[in-house]
Amino acid sequence: MGDFNAYFDSIHRGYTRVDAENGVTYFTAENLAQTGLVRHGFTSRLGGISKPPYDSLNLSWTRCVSVEETRKNVAIACDAMGIKKEDLVVVNGVHGVDVHKAVHGERGMGYESSYRPQVDATFDGLVTNEKTVCLNTIHADCTPVFLLDPAKKAIGLCHSGWRGTVMGMARNTIAAMEEHFGTDPKDLIAAIGPNIGKCCFEVSQDVVDAIRNGYPDDIVFYTPDEGVEGKYHADLVKLTAYDLYQKGIKAENVTIMGLCTCCEKELLYSFRRDGKQGGAMNSFLQLI
């Protein structure tokens, strides 16, 4: 498969900041936007109605003043991106690795209605090939992965916490697209959205052990914390990129947006930084 380090170094880094007319700021990946095949974005904390401590565009359904306030904020974010809020299917996540195929009849699930019995099993990834469905995931440090198959006209989106990452959340989402839509990973266009960077993601031995169990020893996915014995800094972006590499996605088709949720206090929420006093951002992805 070649050298992963060279693959990782060649991946494009960058994002586009969009300041919408309604005051919402969100971020997009250039490689996805250039296709003209999707609407997508990763929200900031700017542009909503939440009061402190969740001030502005808090899109968390659990750390919030009220569910109704979150619902209004989600509608504001959708309006900024030109998405119909009625089209949303919201991830029902537990930091796992399951993936759900979202269909037209489930529109509004998790936004306008509770989860239905046939899909009450939890899932952290979503895939679809229906233009009427907008995939929606929730983040407050965990990694968003956007996937577009321009050949089969299908998309995937996942929420990947560290547990999900080391258990193959991104790989599972790609596999679901292969299963349901006949996707060839070589055709996929991918973007790794904002998450907690290696700079801020201090972890203990259990996380390092999980990485060692699932990833090659000759690639540096974590480094010791020079200031605290028994602590390390883990690189969730690099781990996710390795999964894309394993599945055969071309480096030239990948973008790393590169914003650290924990560093960007004025722009982004972070559970690691703010705990239960902090809100959440959302990722949105829909075929046009």
- List Cα–Cα distances, 231 to 201, 207, 224, 271, in angstroms: 10, 10, 6, 19
pLDDT of residue 117: 41
CB atoms within 10 A of CB 275: 11
Compute the distance between CA of residue 93 and CA of residue 147 in angstroms, rounded to an integer. 18
Contact by Cβ (8 Å): 30, 255: yes
pLDDT for residue 124: 94
Of 161, 259, 281, give the one whose Cα is nearest residue 210: 161
Question: In 10 A of CB 226, how many CB atoms?
Answer: 8
Q: Are 267 and 44 in contact (CB under 8 A)?
A: yes
CA 153 to chain centre: 20
Q: Could you tell me the mean pLDDT of each successive run of 10 residues in the chain, 288 residues long?
A: 89 98 97 98 97 93 93 97 96 89 93 65 92 97 98 98 95 98 98 98 96 94 92 98 98 98 97 95 98
Q: Which pLDDT value is given to residue 220?
A: 96
Residue keyed to tokens 């498969």 = 1
192, 139 Cβ separation under 8 angstroms: no
The per-residue pLDDT for 133 is: 98
Contact 69, 57 (CB under 8 A): no
Please give the distance of CA 81 from its chain centroid, rounded to a whole number.
17
pTM to 2 decimal places: 0.96
Q: How far apart are CA 87 and CA 165, in angstroms?
A: 27
Nearest CA-CA partner of 283 in 72, 64, 53, 81: 81
Question: What is the DSSP track for 8-68?
Answer: HHHSEE--EEEE-TTS-EEEE-HHHHTTTSEEEEEE-S-SS-BPTTS-B----SSSSS-HH
SS3 258: coil
What sections of 82-204 are H helices per DSSP? 162-166, 169-181
Which amino acid does the sequence have at 27?
Answer: F
